[in-house]
């Protein structure tokens, strides 16, 4: 083999990186990665916010078409205590003892038909309106359950639950970030991040608003005690069959909201935290991002003259899918658009709260 000339060897040496040059290049790359990663993370968060806004606007579109098809009705469970013959499942057929029992039967009927979950039994002592009113939209749109539209893209626990519920959720795949997969808890993969305000399905939230105790005020749904995830429903409650026309301030009254603010910062907060910001669906079908502190204070449904309504957000530490409270053991949070003063006749944004005898 012919030996290389000294000029050739010198050329090779001149084209090689020195150790110092290599370290400089690595440092520059590391610096660029450090600059770009936060930007990429922010881009991902922004993208998820856009998807979340799209989800909630789809609910707005569905609410509008539903109202057009059903005499201006706000979507909600439609089975009443006297309803019979609306299901092919004998164990779910009416008549029922209450509006709550009728709605629970309707929800399970939808699980079975739209989610192929005939293993979910009739559920007693359950208030389906809070996390499951969206099922009426799923059924109206003939959607297969579980449906991703009902989950915020930042709601990772709920999206996990939707992933093959029979083989994952039902077998405790996501514990401790899921409820205990008992027979009745099999409903959780079909729940939604987005919740309608109570006035969207409770007629007495908006009727005879100036009564303090007794009369219609005593028939309103409110929290059991001040617990955030426990509700007291009077036996005389009148649920469903409300109309869009019942809303006095459609652009200023919230229709649906996420239980948690998920899109700003690295932590999630309960939606009533004053600094929470999240997408909201208004009754005119628009979707807006708003700060909780900018909303009017809510009311105590059975005591309309009270200035505010305080709610304790203290989730069980074992329920790891709930966001931890920002200030454990701190002050209770004031209700806002979830219990609007005056119900559908009230306003959350863009105007003063209506007068119901409060100071």
The percentage of residues in the chain with a pLDDT greater than 90, rounded to a whole number, is 72
pLDDT, residue 20, reads 79
Q: What is the pLDDT of residues 255-284, one digit of tens each?
A: 999 999 999 888 899 999 999 999 999 999
- Higher pLDDT: 253 or 305? It is 253
Q: How confident is the model at residue 331 (pLDDT cuts 50, 70, 90)?
A: confident
Residue 280, strand partner residues: 257, 288
pLDDT at 353 over 50: yes
pLDDT, residue 284, reads 96
Q: What is the pLDDT of residues 37-95, one digit of tens each?
A: 665 666 676 789 999 999 999 999 999 999 999 999 999 999 999 999 999 999 999 99
Q: How confident is the model at residue 139 (pLDDT cuts 50, 70, 90)?
A: very high
pLDDT at 12 over 60: no
pLDDT at 303 over 50: yes
pLDDT, residue 255, reads 98
Q: Report whether 4 contacts 10 (CB < 8 A).
A: no
Residues in the chain: 359
pLDDT at 213 over 50: no
Question: Alpha-carbon torsion 154, 156, 160, 161, what sign?
Answer: negative
pLDDT, residue 165, reads 97
Residue partners of 295: CB distance under 8 A and separation at least 6: 254, 336, 337, 348, 349
- The pTM assigned to this predicted structure is 0.87
Domain ranges of the chain: 39-345
pLDDT at 112 over 90: yes
pLDDT, residue 5, reads 54
On average, the pLDDT of the chain sits at: 90
């Amino acid at each position: 083999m012919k030996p290389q000339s000294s000029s050739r060897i010198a050329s090779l040496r001149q084209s090689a990186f020195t150790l110092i040059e290599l370290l400089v290049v690595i440092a520059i790359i590391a610096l660029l990665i450090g600059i770009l990663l936060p930007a990429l993370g922010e881009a991902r968060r922004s993208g998820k916010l856009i998807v979340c806004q799209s989800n909630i606007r789809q609910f707005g579109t569905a609410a509008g078409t539903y109202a057009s098809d059903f005499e201006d009705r706000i979507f909600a469970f439609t089975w009443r205590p006297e309803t019979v013959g609306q299901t092919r499942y004998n164990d779910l057929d009416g008549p029922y003892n209450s509006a709550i029992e009728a709605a629970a039967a309707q929800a399970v009927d939808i699980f079975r038909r739209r989610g192929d979950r005939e293993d979910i039994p009739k559920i007693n002592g359950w208030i389906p309106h809070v996390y499951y009113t969206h099922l009426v939209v799923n059924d109206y749109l003939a959607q297969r359950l579980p449906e991703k539209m009902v989950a915020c893209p930042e709601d990772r626990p709920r999206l996990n639950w939707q992933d093959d519920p029979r083989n994952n959720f039902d077998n405790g795949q996501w514990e401790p970030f899921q409820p205990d997969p008992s027979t009745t808890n099999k409903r959780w993969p079909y729940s939604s991040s987005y919740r309608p305000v109570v006035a969207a399905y409770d007629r007495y939230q908006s009727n005879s608003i100036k009564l303090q105790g007794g009369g219609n005020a005593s028939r309103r749904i409110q929290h059991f005690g001040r617990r955030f995830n426990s509700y007291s429903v009077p036996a005389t409650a009148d649920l469903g069959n409300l109309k869009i026309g019942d809303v006095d301030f459609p652009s200023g009254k919230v229709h649906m909201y996420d239980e948690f603010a998920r899109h700003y910062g690295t932590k999630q907060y309960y939606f009533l935290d004053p600094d929470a910001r999240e997408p909201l669906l208004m009754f005119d079908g628009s979707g807006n991002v708003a700060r909780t502190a900018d909303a009017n204070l809510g009311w105590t449904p059975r005591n309309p003259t009270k200035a505010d309504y305080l709610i304790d957000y203290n989730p069980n530490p074992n329920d790891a899918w709930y966001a931890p409270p920002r200030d454990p053991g701190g002050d209770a949070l004031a209700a806002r658009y979830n219990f609007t003063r005056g119900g559908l006749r009230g306003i959350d944004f863009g105007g003063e709260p209506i007068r119901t005898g409060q100071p």
